[in-house]
Amino acid sequence: MEIVINNVNILNPGNDILHGNILIEDNIIKEISPFNIKSDGILIDGEDDFLMPGFIDLHTHILAKGFHKEENMANPLSIHFYNGVPHSLQTLNAGVTTIRDCGSADLGVKMAQQRGLFPGPKMEISVTPLMTTGGHFDLFLPSGFDLEIMYPGFPKGRCDGVAEVLKKTREVKRAGADFVKVMCSGGVLTTNTSPEAPQFNIEELKTIVKEAKADNLKVSAHCHSLAGMENAILAGINSIEHGTFVDPRMASEMKDANVSLIPTMLVHHYLYKHGFPKWDIYGKEKKAKLKEIVKVHKENVSMAYEKGVNILMGTDSGVIPHGHNLEELSHLVDIGMSPAEAIASGTSRAAEFLGKDNLGAIERGNIADLILVNGNPLSNVGLLADNNNILCVIQDGKIVKS
């Protein structure tokens, strides 16, 4: 099938805007021309709007709906999967055509999307994050109930000691993980853990990284704490998620070690503004942790950016409602990025991080993951946060939002 988009402004971040026309054949960008292209396929008049690469959100949880333990207790397991159908459509409608799921989606969810059983972003999955006993996302409660979701193909993530972390890393690889996610500090959503406390020791982390890299898998570390970041960097992880308490020394270490930072600014602001459900008995504890995070996060990430740390776009959607993904770009601009840099962090540089050299840019021969936008995001990146401005989404050469 052919799709032609004529009369459009082609926006590749870092390059001059090119007014032109595009031919898509099957799932590939076949031609980019200054002249109108004729075709017997689908013709789209771009009406002088802006054509951009589809976005890549490097930190989502596509099945999650707030990670409320109470809902896990009340709902049948199948609801966990059905939630992913509207979440995936909301993500596509926001202009995100690829995600990295940092814990929730399993291999079956990824395969269902690939087979077209529901519309959704393409997925890189970690299956389930690895966590220490009593650490972030250990959902064994003081009551004695264990609320960690578990079923065939979705191993428990709890592990301690070199032997256990080695086996658990192999289990998530067996389950189909594209990368390994590890909890290197406490977090906001798990009770009785502090974001400032490290989790996993250096020997455990080195074991995880070595085993992941035996299959060329990257390792991603949820981490707020300085000590946790240092352990993760020394172990050889590839990205720090959140990085709340990063300081100048740690930023320099990240840059030197080529460790990327995915700060997920949006999630903390959203939760601090909107809070938690009234029935959440741990809501006050979570809000107190958020207060400390919001206080320093922006300033610290801004410093890391100035130090030259590679900062990429991720939202932690699933902790917050899906479909707000591109609001993250305004937060990245607030820490000092230009609109073009913020856009690149979720397109060309995100694709580079994933090792996808055929994504993230509008170039001949690349995969046709594209969005048509009403307005120039280089003049106002905030317009991308309004899904009404995402006029059309094309994924793998197919129109999925029009």
CA distance 120 to 122: 7
| Distance, CA of 143 to chain centre | 33
pLDDT of 200 higher than 90: yes
CA distance 343 to 346: 5
Q: What are the structural domains, with CATH classification, of the chain?
A: 2-53+361-401 (2.30.40.10), 55-354 (3.20.20.140)
Tell me the per-residue pLDDT of 293-352, one tens digit each, with 9 for 90 and over: 888 999 999 999 999 999 999 999 999 999 999 999 999 999 999 999 999 999 999 999
pLDDT tier for residue 279 given thresholds of 50, 70 and 90: low
pLDDT at 282: 66
Of residues 12 and 190, more confidence is placed in 12
pLDDT at 214: 98
Amino acid identity at 343: I
The pTM of this model reads 0.96
- % of the chain at pLDDT higher than 90: 82
For 123, which DSSP code? E
CA distance 81 to 168: 23
Residues constituting the chain: 402
What does each C-alpha distance from 373 to 325, 344, 398 come to in angstroms? 15, 16, 17
